[in-house]
Structure 1
Amino acid sequence: MVRKDIENVRREFRNQIVVLITGAFAFTAALFWNTAIKNAITHFIPAAESWYWDMLIAVVVTIIAVIATYLVAKFAERGEEKK
């Protein structure tokens, strides 16, 4: 019983480490994409219209993030049901 608990703690610890490392890589990639998108917008859109495009892009990215989060949550639920 104690061995099973220890193994569960180890497995959960390993899973959390994987999540943290994956999150760190995702955050790093997001920072690079942020810079690339900002530079592209600055190149193609005049500064006078910048605020409009900033708002539009923020809304679009938020919608995409919400949809992606929903899909990932559904995927995780499906994995839990199989156990």
Structure 2
Amino acid sequence: MLLVRRSDNGNWALPGGAMDIGETLSETAVRETAEETGIEVVVTGLVGIFTDPRHVILYTSNGEVRQEFSVVYSFADQRGDH
């Protein structure tokens, strides 16, 4: 399992972020993993989609409230390691 330590709150989390216009979910996962870890990966499968109605985030910058979710993929790095 690949985790990153968030710079905003110090918590451990899966690499992730917002999709860019024109990207697929798997392309977003590859790009975000590279941006957040420096590791180039290839998606090899879908582990699952996880959500919890109690996992709600308040963005203090604009007062927006969102219910978060995670799409979790299996992957190999560009060298072929898992």
Q: TM-score range by the shorter chain?
A: under 0.3
Task: Normalising by structure 2, report the TM-score.
Answer: 0.23
User: Between Structure 1 and Structure 2, whose CA radius of gyration is higher?
Assistant: 1
Task: Normalising by structure 1, report the TM-score.
Answer: 0.23
Structure (1 or 2) with the greater strand fraction: 2
